[in-house]
A and B are shown apart, each in its own frame.
Chain A
Amino acid sequence: MKPTTKALAAAAIAFVLVHVNAPESPNVPSVGPMRALILHDNTQDVQLPAEQQAVYHSQIIDQWLDEHTPKEADGEHSHRVWDVQTDVKNMPQVWQDWMRDTKAKATKLPWLRAEKGRKRYNGALPKDVPSTLEVLKKVGE
């Protein structure tokens, strides 16, 4: 990546982090530990660049999120990869709220929502694993 492109990407991420920091729902706490959701659509995934689709299950993303999100009552870390058709009625209320609010906010798919306290990213899933990790680090570190 050329320095100018890198600078532009950093500026774009900073813009989103600064400007998307208001809770979407009264049920979503304004402070708290890190939580992340990748929302995608299986009927559109085949059209995605392979580099972007590789983000969903990449080990480096999964392990980073395991290290930076708390375990919930069910024993799993608080990050998920869900299709838009996933039925979440059996999930805790906070996840149901997240799914509802993220679906309402996502103007395109795949989408990434990551929050830690007041640091937030709520935008299109970055184009590949390294840039997704960069966004997550800005939120979670």
Chain B
Amino acid sequence: MAKTILISDDDSSGDAVPDGGAKGLVQRDFRAHPLGSFEYAAELPDNLIIPRGEWSDRLNLQKKFQSRIIDVRNRGMDGKPIPSRDQNGRGYCWFHSGTTCMMLARAAQNEPYADLSAYAGACIIKNYRDEGGFGAQGLKFQAERGIPTSEFWPQQSTSKKNDNPKTWENAAKHKWSKWYDLEPRNIDHFVTACLMGWPIISDFNWWGHSVGTMCLEEVGNDWSKIVSWILNSWGDKWSQNGAGLLKGKKAAPDSMQCCVVTYASAA
């Protein structure tokens, strides 16, 4: 198995920031798109935030019972790991991060594996152009129209023939019905979502990239003590089966939405 990549604030303890894959993040403009402004997206209520005194015990318990989202991912395709998405050179990370989270959330509900195709929504939003965006932009589309499987929109296809009623009928089976728009770089929001098992669409301005945050590896009361697991969209050859670790402020998303409830459906 390939070595797990760890990206850290501290250059001496981490790996270099990978620069080989396509990214595509356009930083969210919070003046144009304020927190909670997207349709359906609410801000996280204060009464849902897990007290800091419980964080360590909760994480230890999740590890003991292998109930973190990375555990769900590693057995989510009939006992085997759910394959990571592959944006294949296009700047569509911002739609792949939400697609990744949808697949993780479905696995957490024990829905069958569905090979969801992120190119569908990204192509429609950008009129087939290779253009960047931000995670919440993809999420809005995913909530309204959904994500089709590769049976209806093959992975990495940019053919306009894919855009037909049957594709969107299938996509409607894979939609979000609830998520929260979390405060950027808010550690209480971030840790709560991780400990609740809510995958997080995570935009990182330092990386120019959007990925799915799965869960925590280490936790503490400030970002320097946080280590999180992400699932990238550069295929399974990247890091450990497509999953890597972010440490410290590198783990703090500049825009993040946690995904709480999806539609239930067969693949």
Contact = CB atoms under 8 A, between A and B. Distances in A.
A81 B112 contact: no
B2 interface: no
Contacts of A118: none
Contact of B197 (A43, A57, A63, A90): A57
A75 B78 contact: yes
A113 to B, nearest CB: 14
Interface stretch (A2-10, A14-22, A44-52, A102-110): A44-52
Contact of A81 (B49, B78, B110, B196): B110
Nearest to A60: B65
B177 A85 contact: yes
A80 B64 CA distance: 22
Interface string B241-267: 000000000000000000011111111
B126 interface: no
Contacts of B261: 42, 83, 85-86
A123 B217 CA distance: 33
Contact of A80 (B57, B69, B109): B109
Sort chain A's interface into a size bin.
Answer: 35 or more
A46 B108 contact: no
Interface string A59-83: 1101100100000011111011111
**Of A51, A59, A60, most B-chain CB atoms within 10 Å:** A59
Sort chain B's interface into a size bin.
Answer: 35 or more
A129 interface: yes
A50 B57 contact: yes
Nearest to B78: A75
B178 interface: yes
Nearest to A89: B263
A89 B78 CA distance: 24
Given A59-B71, A81-B110, A50 B61 contact: yes
Interface string B44-62: 0001111000100110011
A79 B110 contact: yes
Contacts of A79: 110
A74 B112 contact: yes
A85 B109 contact: no
Contact of A87 (B72, B260, B264, B266): B264
A51 B65 CA distance: 9
A46 B50 contact: yes
B196 A76 contact: no
Contacts of A90: 173, 263-266
- In order of increasing CB-CB distance, the 4 nearest A-B pairs are A74-B266, A59-B66, A76-B112, A90-B265
Interface of A: 42-43, 45-46, 50-51, 53-54, 56-60, 62-63, 66, 73-77, 79-83, 85-92, 95, 129
